[in-house]
Structure 1
Amino acid sequence: MKTWFHSWRAAVRIARRDAWRAKGRSALVLSMIALPILGVSAVDLTYRSSELSPAEKLERTIGTADASFQDTGFAGTPILQSPSGDSYRPAKDFDGAWPDGKGDVAAAIPAGATWITVTHGRAKLTTAHGLLQTEVRELKASDPIARGLSTLLEGRDPEKADEVTATSAFLEQSGLTVGSTVSARNFDRQYRIVGSYELPNALNEAEVTALPGAFLQDYAKAAEKSGALAPELYTTYLVKNGSGFTWNDVQKINQRGVMVVSRAVVLDPPADSEVPLYQIKGWGDYASSPAADAALLASLATVVGLAMLEICLLAGPAFAVGARRSRRQLGLVGANGGARSHIRAIVLSGGLVIGVAAAVIGTVLALALTLALQPFLEEYIGQRFGSFDIRPLELFGIAMLAVLTGLLAAVVPAVTASRQTVLASLTGRRGVRSTSKVLPLIGLGAFLLGAAVALYGSVVSDQVVLVAAGSALAELGVVAMTPALVGFFGRAGRWLPLSPRLALRDAVRNRGRTAPAVAAVLAAVAGTVAVTTYAASREAQQNAEYTASLPHGAVSFFQMEEGGRDVPAVAEAVQRYLPVDTRADVSRIVVGRSNCPSWGGGNGCGRYEVVVPQANQCPLWVTNPDGSDPADKFTPEQRRNLVLNDWRCSEGNSGSLYVDGGLLVGDAKLLKVLGITDPGAAKALDEGKAVALQRSLVDKNGTVAVKKITDAEAADKAAMENRPVPGEVSAVPSYLVPGKPTAYGLQILMTPATAKAAGLNTVPVGAYFSTDQMPGDEQRQKLDAEIAKIGAGIDLTVEEGYVPESGIVLLALTVFAGLVTIGAAGIATGLAQADAEADLKTLAAVGAPPRVRRTLSGFQCGVVAAMGVVLGTAAGLLPAVGLRLTEGRQQLRFYEQNLAEGWGTGTPPKVPIVIPWETLTGLLVLVPLGAALLAALVTRSKGAVARREAT
């Protein structure tokens, strides 16, 4: 008894034989399906292998310890924490003013437990090239508790106070080796590098390790003494007690203000109902929301679906041609009693055979490549794999996509082949073909509905999801209309010469082969046009919103610490390597020691502030005595009017200046560099006045006030309590520059003599430079290298204007679309040649020149590419325009909301829509032309004339 199994087995055997006989076509389709499977499987293997298990994460963070203890900085106040230790807060509500101070972590460690400390900080270490800001770790790495935190690669762990080990990344960046000596800036100690190691979780981290107490504490004191920024130190206690720490133990230790990461709790976390932190409103497990997960799954499904559609559109014609080349064999099956279902089974088996082969080959290659490239992948992602993790079910699911794709690509050719009569199959006659009249109507309806949905989403509802869904539906509608549109293009053939006319006629007559290829090109080009149009529009908006830090081509640098000790050397280096026209040295005001950093505070260091007169303060920003928001006194309309019409609230400050109050000490050269040409400003500087570039800083008497604050802590406390900040005020006569000049962040400029007369001490802070021409990359690199040798802490700015970041993206997308277009058109051309071999031989038999074959092949490829590019360009503009309209409405609504709350500026947002004509021109002209030329070059001019078969 014959069953469906026997018929399918025979069909598979026939399909396998046909695939082996047509090796070229089979290899082409197999490659198209296998490559995505290879990529997705490799990504899955890489992701799963790099995804660490909780036990592996613990080994790399707490070594072999049972738990890590860390001070929360809440002065020992009891805390609530999550089981993983990634979030915590004080157990009591302090109305936002949480306690600040150190707790006693050592006292929280149970009696009898053993522990080691890991302290982290940052330091400017000397290298072969200069200085390098480096992470410094103090740890007894040889202790068994520390096993797993790092991997020793060469040498040994430190044993003496003057020995360190360094990561391989630090040795590579610093130019040092094991055996070299290293020190730190403003630190008179030398340390010998006795070994190298790597951090499994941070392979690219530049770090050195010293013994506990051998570096960081003394370096912090030396840095503070020199006026440099002292590093913040973070200490973690790795504790081992043998029995571990339960969740109840963790909560008891939390009462001392200590956060605990327990191995036992992380591996077996408590229920959320047992975590007090999660019971507080606004707190919880900060995992992604179900909506976010659903959106991610929808995005992945969309990408996978579009990829499968693309492959089906490209592979479908190959199966159609295969079925046509085997039509005599299929006719014999029908002549011997085979039903239409048997014909469909044979053609579908071709897709099944190719799909299974692609799945197996793609999966095996993914396994081999991922395993072979594991060291390079680890370096790329910056961490070692936990293990080579193979998930059979996931790989099987990915492989099934290949099988499904092969079957889907063969569905339409199978149905078409089964509809042919036995007589037509045996005689080779194609008969009269007519395209479906229902499919174009369905496509037109889908296009109109999708366009309406996208328009509604962009103009009415502002929902990006609706815009994307409508655009996708509209694009699918265009795909469904492709056969009818191909016929529409065919009407242009009457005006074309012989070869393009033949190519266009062949494309129209064989729409089953042409339409999928055109649709594949359409899909690729539509995506590229949508992304490039959106990117070009965003780039135009960013260019319009860009705020220059300096005049174009100008240069500035600042050193905010160490009393500006490197300023003269850096200024000389800038003049030496860049085309400097004018140099303007500037200083900053310092309160206390001359080497106090610009942020003030610390031992013997204060700060200053520029006082804004009471009458010039914006009512929306004046602090109420009770600490309430001053904007609450006004209605939304009043806030809007204040922001738009009151100069006190609309006057803003922007630029690259980072000193308090925008106050610099210099001369008229700075005005020249910044392009401030008002003659009264230079005259005012000569007369000993300060030049003010912001109206709100000048009082009714024409002076600006600078307050020196010697006790920074007392000032901070007064500010928090809404009391006047104590300090000595110096009033300086000033000149207000009329209008609103572009000052690039500068608000007040005074000469050194004026500052001295006002009792203000100054230290060098940097310099400004105007240039004869825009500095080049080579000049920048030489200057950067010189600054690295001089010292660290230099903030250098070269104003290049707006530099678009999407240029390379647009180029890459254009190249990608071009390659897909040429590939799809080439596939269609190759199949057309195989399918129309008899027509080509007939042309040769009737005396057509040899070049006609080459010319016809080129035009066949060009016709497919041109039709796909034209339709894809039209389809791709819809989502880009819709998204920009949606963004425009959203930004305008956000702008109005800010005005109602008393924020923002008086300039409404502008969301332009820019068509990237260069990209579209390249797609519309260069890609079809390139595809045609490439096809013509690879096609042989001569073909053998076959004898007519006996009938």
Structure 2
Amino acid sequence: MKTWFHSWRAAIRIARRDAWRSKGRSALVLAMIALPILGVSALDLTYRSSELSPAERLERTIGAADARFRDAQVGGVPIFQDPTGEMSTPAKDYEDGPWPSGPTDVAKTIPAGATVLTDALGSAKLTTTHGLLGAEVRELKASDPIAHGIMTLLEGRFPEKSDEVMATSHFLETSGLSVGSTLSARNFDRPYRIVGSYELPDSLTTDQVNALPGAFLAPYAKAVEKAGLPAPDTSVTYLVRKSGGFTWNSVKEINAKGVSVVSRAVVLDPPAASEVPLNQKDGWGGDGAGPGPGAAELASLATVVGLAMLEICLLAGPAFAVGARRSRRQLGLVGANGGARSHIRAIVLSGGLVIGVAAAVIGIVLAVVLTLALQPVLEDTMSQRFGAFDVRPLELLGIALLAVLTGLLAAIVPAVTASRQTVLASLTGRRGIRRSSRVLPLIGLTALLVGGAIALFGSMFSEQVTLVAAGSALAELGVVAMTPALVGLFGRTGRWLPLSPRLALRDAVRNRGRTAPAVAAVLAAVAGTVAVTTYMAGREAQNRAGYEATLPYGVASVFVQEEGGRDVPAVREAVQRNFPVDVRADVGRISVGKPGCPPWGGEGCGRYEVVVPPANECPLYATVPGGGDASEKYTPEQRRKLLTEDWRCKDSASSGMYVSDGGLLIGDAKLLQVLGVDDPATVKALADGRIVAFNRALVGKDGTVGIKQITDIAAADKASEEGRPVPGEVSSLPAYLVPGDKKTYGLQALMTPATAKAAGLSTVPLGLYVSTDRLPDSEQRQKLDSDLAKLGGNVEVHLEEGFVNDYGIVLLSLVVFAGLVTIGAAGIATGLAQADAEADLRTLAAVGAPPRVRRTLSGFQCGVVAAMGVILGSAAGLLPAIGLRLTEEREQIRAYEQSFAEGWNTDLTPPDLPIVIPWETLAGLIVAVPLGAALLAALVTRSRGALARRAVT
């Protein structure tokens, strides 16, 4: 008794034999399916292998210790923490009082009898063969068994003496040093010998140097302070090993002393959420209901996978159709010997099954091999080492089933078409009269209209962007369904074409089963590209219209805020050497406290403020005694009137580049020249020793500007929180208010070094402004960056280039991608057309057509498919882009109206989001891509075909 199993086994054997006989076509389809499977499988293996287990994560963070103790810096008050020890907050609410801060003696919280290893982390500017390099300095006895797993020794040995260090491989590569070299630090002449190289498994690109505890950071801090500079901050944690480890109850007891703990036992066996006090605290709980995390990402992934499968099916479908057509005699013999239509469908479907299984096996095997072979490269790219090489059989099986499903889907339409052919037509090789379906175009037209309506509704009336995307996708599928009918409409233009393109177009129309899927594949790729480029072109136009220059065109600003501007002379020399400097203006800033204090303060450092007289303060931002928001006592209409009509609030809303606190700089008239301020009275006032003010809110009724020096930052912060005047010494200096509304790019006030010195203000170099003869090219910028990197500090460089389109390279990449997909799809269709039309080509040769007709016909066949797909795809891609732009405009208008109703609008013009059609991109796709595809196909096609015997009928 013959069962379905026997018939399918025979069908699979026939399909396997046909696939082996037609190696070229089979390899093409197999590659199309296997390549995405290879990529997805490799991505899965890479992701799973890089995803560390809790045990692997603990080994890299706490080594072989049972816990890591860290000071929460809350002055020892009780805290709540999460089980992983990553988040913590004071247990008590401090809404009405100052937030607790300050160190805690962590050593007192470590249980007696425990083994402790200190782990200190700081920073320093280390000497290299190129200059200086800012790097981390870590003091940890890496050879101790407790630290095993935190660092991986690559070369040499661990430090054993106080004058020995080891460095990460990335530091050695960047610095030009090697094992055996010596290094020191800036302001620190003590030499250290590098005895080993190591890496941090979780951060391969970290520049770090490891020393024994107490061997580097403490003496380096003393040397820096001796040089009159603030010592760098150092953080210390404690690796603790104790018999029995630390349970969750132990962790909570330690939390009560203001110390957070990363416990091995707790991380490996975390407590229930109800047992974590942090979850019960307002704003920290994790009991909210809602959709699972990553729902949007999963939906996006499913969409991408679905579109990829559709693209593959559209490209692979014609190959199975041609295979079935070339095997029509064999299929006819199956029917002549009693085979049913289901058997013929099974044979063609088995071709998809065989190719799908082969693609799955080859793709997954290659993914495993390549992932293993490229593991070092992948790890370097992700900047972390893999954990165990993690192979998830169920996930790989799911990916394999996806390949099989893709192969079967691609073979469905050819299988149905082949089963409908009569036995006589199959045996004689006659194709008969084939009519295209009249139902499919109607379904496609319906989908196009419904999808367009949904996208229009989403863009005009709804706030859901997903409606626009869903409607656009449905409309695009409708266009795909209408492709056979649209191909027929294109065929009517053949009467005006010369011989070769007319033959190519006629062949495409007559063989719509082969042409339509290829055109649809091109359509899908081009539609996505056109949609993205149209959307980005609109964003570019919007950004260009809203762009505000931070400096005059061609002007560069260079600031150094560390170490009291010690590196400014070297930076100035580097800029002069590498940039085409026209005018250079050196600037400085006010410094409060000991020399070398940074603007953000620090131990022994203060700050300054440019005092705004109470009469000049905007009422919306005025200080409220006892704290609070001054704007709350005004109605929306009053707020809007203040922001649009009161000069105090309008000026306070002005924007510009950050230059220093209060926008005050120390400089001379050259800065005015660089910034384009050419008022002679302003230059004269600056030379006369007055502060030049560009913001009238800074100038009091007596014509002076007040500068307050704050030495006690803690007291100042407390006074500010309580709404009291900030204590400090105020120096009043005569000022000149520059008339008019001059654009000064963030500069609010300027005074000369002599004026500052006369007022008793300490100043330090900050940097420079330079105007250029011409905009520096890429090579000059790279040389400047290289010279600045040798200083090892944080140098802030900004060059005003005008509006720069950030999307240019993205648009070009998308066009290239669409062009490659288009040429690939058209080439596949052309190759299949040649295989399918050998008889027609032989007929042309027999009636005297010259050999070049074969080449030109092949080129026009490829060009026709590409042109039809590009034209339809360009039209289909405009809908989603326009819909998304309209949706964004509605959202911004709604936000504008809400802000207007609340009285916070300074601009009375509603937002306008332009819709820009990228005509250059469309022209490139419509003209260049089909032309390139045609030329490529013509070049790779042989002029003469092989002779063949007459087919036996």
Normalised by the shorter chain, which TM-score bucket?
Answer: over 0.9
Distance between the aligned counterparts of 1:52 and 1:258, measured in 2?
26
What CA distance in whole angstroms lies between the structure 1 residues aligned with 2:736 and 2:159? 62
Deviations 1:232-269 (CA, angstroms, capped at 9, x unpaired): 32221111112111111111111111111111111111
User: Could you tell me how far 1:934 is from its partner in structure 2?
Assistant: 0.6
Give secondary structure in 1 for the equivalent of 2:349: helix
Match of 1:325 in 2: 326
Q: Secondary structure at the match of 2:186?
A: coil
Q: Distance in 2 between matches of 1:281 and 1:572?
A: 54
Report the AA paired with residue 771 of structure 1: T
Look up the SS of the partner of 2:401 in the other structure: helix
Aligned ranges 1:721-870 → 2 under 5 Å: 721-790=722-791, 792-870=793-871
User: What residue is the counterpart of 1:352 in the other structure?
Assistant: 353
For 1:92 and 1:878, the matched residues in 2 are separated by: 55
- Partners of 1:455 and 1:227 lie apart in 2 by 67
Aligned counterpart, 1:191: 192
Report what 1:941 is aligned to: 943
1:634 aligns with 2:634: yes
Conserved in 2, the CA contact under 8 Å of 1:513 and 1:828?
yes
Shift of 1:781: 2.7
| Equivalent residues of 2:626, 2:724 under 8 A apart | no
Secondary structure at the counterpart of residue 188 of structure 1? strand
Contact 1:80 1:88 survives alignment (8 Å) = yes
Aligned to 1:914: 916
* Alpha-carbon distance in structure 2 between the residues aligned to 1:216 and 1:552: 44
Instruction: Name the counterpart of 1:476.
Output: 477
**Paired residue secondary structure (2:853):** helix
> In structure 1, what is the Cα distance between the partners aligned to 2:251 and 2:901?
47
1:119 aligns with 2:145: no
Instruction: Check whether the contact 2:690–2:735 (CA below 8 A) recurs between aligned residues.
Output: yes
CA distance, structure 2, for counterparts of residue 659 and residue 99 of structure 1 = 29
Query: Per the alignment, do residues 447 and 599 of structure 1 end up closer, same or farther by CA in structure 2, a change over 3 Å counting?
Result: same
Q: Secondary structure at the match of 2:190?
A: coil
CA apart distance, 1:120: 1.2
Of stretches 751-760 and 903-912 in structure 1, the one that deviates more from structure 2 is 903-912
User: Which deviates more from structure 2 when the two are superposed, residues 605-614 or residues 929-938?
Assistant: 605-614
| Counterpart check, 1:94 vs 2:91 | no
Q: Does the C-alpha gap of structure 1 residues 512 and 118 become closer, same or farther in structure 2, counting only changes over 3 Å?
A: same
Shift in alpha-carbon separation, 1:227–1:854, aligned structure 2, 3 A: farther
Which residue of 2 is the match for residue 929 of structure 1?
931
- Cα distance in 1 for residues equivalent to 2:752 and 2:83: 59
| Inter-partner Cα distance in structure 1 for 2:602 and 2:943 | 84
Per-residue displacement from partner, 1:840-870 (whole Å, max 9, x unpaired)? 1111111111111111110000000000001
Superposition deviation, residue 151 in structure 1: 0.5
Contact 1:639–1:899 at 8 Å: present in 2 too? no
Q: Distance in 1 between matches of 2:753 and 2:235?
A: 41
Deviations 1:50-77 (A, max 9, x none): 1111100000000001111111111111
**Map of 1:424 onto structure 2:** 425
Report the secondary structure of 2:810's partner residue: helix
- Tell which deviates more after alignment, 172-181 or 924-933: 172-181
- Give, as a single letter, the amino acid of the residue that structure 2 aligns with 1:280: K
Compare 747-756 and 863-872 and name the one that shifted more: 747-756
2:383 equivalent in structure 1: 382
| SS in structure 1 at match of 2:735 | strand
| Comparing 790-799 and 439-448, the one that deviates more | 790-799
Q: Which amino acid aligns with 1:634?
A: Y
**Separation of aligned partners in 1, 2:952 and 2:317:** 32
Deviation at 1:229, TM superposition (A): 5.3
| Cα deviation 1:917-937 (Å, max 9, x = unaligned) | 222121111110000001111
By how many angstroms is 1:36 displaced? Answer: 0.4
Kindly provide the CA deviation profile for residues 535-590 of structure 1, in whole angstroms up to 9, marking residues without a partner as x.
22223333333333321211222222333333233223322322111111222222
SS at match of 2:705: strand
Aligned-residue offset at 1:226:
4.3
Native 8 Å contact 1:606 1:712 kept in 2: yes
Residue 791 of structure 1, CA deviation: 5.6
- Trace 1:274-313 onto structure 2 (pairs within 5 A): 274-285=275-286, 290-313=291-314
Number of the residue aligned with 2:530: 529
Cα contact 1:227–1:561 (8 A) shared by 2: no
CA deviation vs aligned residue, 1:757-779 (integer Å, no higher than 9, x gap): 33323222222111111112222
Partner of 1:84: 84
Number of equivalenced pairs: 950
Equivalent position amino acid for 1:641 in 2: K
Of 279-288 and 504-513, the range deviating more from structure 2: 279-288
TM-score normalised by the chain length of structure 1: 0.97
Between stretches 795-804 and 619-628, larger displacement belongs to: 795-804
Amino acid at match of 2:929: V
**Per-residue CA distance 1:24-43 (angstroms, 9 max, x = gap):** 11110000000000110011
Counterpart Cα distance in 2 of 1:749 and 1:702: 15
Q: Aligned pair 1:27/2:55, yes or no?
A: no
Do the aligned residues in 1 keep the contact of 2:637 with 2:903 (CA within 8 Å)? no
CA deviations 1:468-521 (Å, max 9, x no partner) are 111111111111111111111111111111111111111111111100000000
SS in 2 for 1:190: strand
- Determine the C-alpha separation between the residues in 2 that align with 1:218 and 1:527: 61
Percent same amino acid among aligned pairs?
A: 74
Which sections of structure 1, spanning at least 5 residues, go unmatched? none
TM-score by length of structure 2 reads 0.97
Give the direction of change, closer, same or farther, for the CA distance of 1:753–1:602 in structure 2 (3 Å limit): same
Letter in 1 for 2:385: R
Alpha-carbon deviation of 1:729?
2.0
Cα deviation for residue 902 of structure 1 reads 5.8
The alignment partner of 1:183 has SS state of strand
- 1:270 is matched with 271
Specify whether residues 606 and 950 from structure 1 end up closer, same or farther in structure 2 by C-alpha distance, changes over 3 A only. closer
In structure 2, give the amino acid aligned to 1:281.
Answer: D
For the 8 Å contact 2:640–2:905, the answer to whether it is kept is no
1:49 alignment partner in structure 2: 49
Aligned positions of 1:683-698 closer than 5 A: 683-698=684-699
Shift in alpha-carbon separation, 1:470–1:66, aligned structure 2, 3 A: same
Counterpart in the other structure of 2:708: 707
Alignment-derived partner of residue 464 in structure 2: 463
Question: SS state of the match for residue 502, structure 2?
Answer: helix
Separation in 1, partners of 2:904, 2:509 = 61
Give the corresponding residue for 2:496.
495
Q: 1:125-274, aligned counterparts within 5 Å?
A: 125-224=126-225, 226=227, 228=229, 230-274=231-275
Alignment correspondent of 1:449: 450
Counterpart Cα distance in 2 of 1:632 and 1:750: 37
Q: 1:795, 1:950 → 2: CA distance?
A: 81
Q: RMSD between aligned alpha carbons? A: 1.9
Of residues 571-580 and 343-352 in structure 1, the stretch that sits farther from structure 2 once superposed is 571-580
Alpha-carbon contact 2:606-2:713 (below 8 Å) kept: yes
Structure 2 gap ranges (5+): none
Relative to structure 1, the CA distance from residue 506 to residue 748 in structure 2 (aligned partners, 3 Å threshold; closer, same or farther) is same
Which amino acid letter does the alignment assign opposite residue 156 of structure 1? R
Q: Using the TM superposition, name which of 768-777 and 280-289 deviates more.
A: 280-289
| Helix, strand or coil at the partner of 1:290 | coil
In 2, are the aligned partners of 1:639 and 1:902 still within 8 Å (CA)?
yes
Q: How far is 1:694 from its partner?
A: 1.6
Opposite residue 928 of structure 2, the aligned amino acid is L
- 1:839, 1:376 → 2: CA distance? 51
Report the Cα offset of residue 624 of structure 1: 1.6
Is the Cα contact below 8 Å between 1:826 and 1:931 reproduced in 2? yes
Distance 1:901 1:610, change over 3 A: farther
Q: 1:336 to 1:152 in 2, by over 3 A?
A: same
SS at match of 2:833: helix
- Give, in whole Å, the separation in 1 of the partners of 2:408 and 2:219: 71
Question: Residues of 2 paired with 1:154 and 1:138: CA distance?
Answer: 19
- Residue pairs, 1:537-548, within 5 angstroms: 537-548=538-549
**What is the CA distance between 1:391 and its match in structure 2?**
0.7
Which moved further from structure 2: 740-749 or 773-782? 773-782
Q: Which amino acid aligns with 2:593?
A: G
CA shift for structure 1 position 802:
2.9
SS of corresponding position for 2:189 = coil
Cα distance change, pair 893–644 in 1 and its aligned pair in 2 (3 A): farther
Aligned-pair CA distance for 1:83 = 0.9
Letter in 2 for 1:921: A
Describe the SS at the equivalent of 1:119: strand
Q: Which residue pairs with 2:11 in the alignment?
A: 11
- The whole-number CA distance in structure 2 between the counterparts of 1:37 and 1:841 is 39
Q: Residue 872 of structure 1: CA displacement?
A: 0.7
Inter-partner Cα distance in structure 1 for 2:776 and 2:631: 46
Give the distance between the partners of 1:221 and 1:285, measured in 2 at CA: 46
Equivalent-residue separation in structure 1 for 2:359 and 2:750 (angstroms): 71
* Cα distance in structure 1, aligned partners of 2:516 and 2:658: 60
